[in-house]
A = this chain, B = another copy of it.
Amino acid sequence: MRIALCGGTGDLGEGLALRWTRDTDHETLVGSRDPEKARERAADYEATLDEHGVAASLDGFANGMATDRADVVVLCVPAYHLVDTVESIADRIDDTVLVSPAVGMGRDDAGLHYNPPSAGSVTALAAGAAPEGTSVVGAFHALAAGRLADLGTELGWDVPVVGDDADAKSRVGELADGIEGLRALDAGGLGNAAEVESLTPLLINLAANGDDLHDLGVRFR
């Protein structure tokens, strides 16, 4: 499968690009608003993979060009850039599955808190911004990006996946399962996205307060 990582120049994009390239046959396209930056980061990812004994070629594109070429688009952008990003690629979406991993959070003295948009969840916000009929799936929220991008570490994490299109959801679940140490779990329809997104501030709060806890993910058992 061909996966475009819009905003794939950041931590989450790096981790997904490295691991999909290393662990699967999927082709990963690095997207950015700035195609030059996308090409530079793609070259960085190639170099990292090479250090880990993986010979691979990665390309960078403007987000729209990456979307054009992709079966699945992962929106690796902060929640506040999500609508802009979806709108900027909207006319390139054609039977493309959109994946939303972003979480809206706010901070106070106690810690980080889930702060969903009025749509009810960030995934619902992405669905609202996408052209009608687009399959939108929420996934990859609870991955500590730093550890994901470190190919030397094992993960052992679960990936709750939400969406109303069962085919799209199972396709994204297979993408998650393809990465060594990740396991996709079906968390139900798009209406359950808030419960999945809420996990991220909890993980960050636990890491902030715990001794020797950092870059946490989660396993359900």
Which A residues have a C-beta under 8 Å from some C-beta of B?
108-114, 156-157, 160, 185-192, 194-196, 198-199, 201-203, 205-206, 208-210, 213, 216-221
Contacts and interface: CB of A to CB of B under 8 A. Distances in A.
B111 A194 contact: no
B203 A188 contact: no
A139 to B, nearest CB: 13
Most chain B C-beta atoms within 10 Å of own C-beta, residue among A109, A195, A206:
A195
A220 B218 contact: yes
A221 B110 contact: no
Given A111-B188, A190-B110, A220 B206 contact: yes
A216 B221 CA distance: 5
A71 B218 CA distance: 33
Majority secondary structure of chain A interface residues (helix, strand, loop or mixed): mixed
A86 B80 CA distance: 41
B221 A191 contact: no
Contacts of A191: 108-111, 113
A160 B216 CA distance: 13
Given A111-B192, A206-B186, A209-B188, A219 B216 contact: no
Given A114-B195, A156-B221, A217-B221, 16 more contacts: A111-B189, A113-B192, A114-B194, A114-B198, A160-B202, A186-B209, A188-B205, A188-B209, A195-B205, A203-B220, A213-B220, A216-B220, A217-B220, A218-B218, A218-B220, A218-B221
B192 A198 contact: no
Smallest CB-CB A-B distances: 7 pairs: A110-B191, A198-B198, A186-B209, A195-B202, A110-B189, A111-B192, A188-B209
Contacts of A185: 206, 209-210, 213
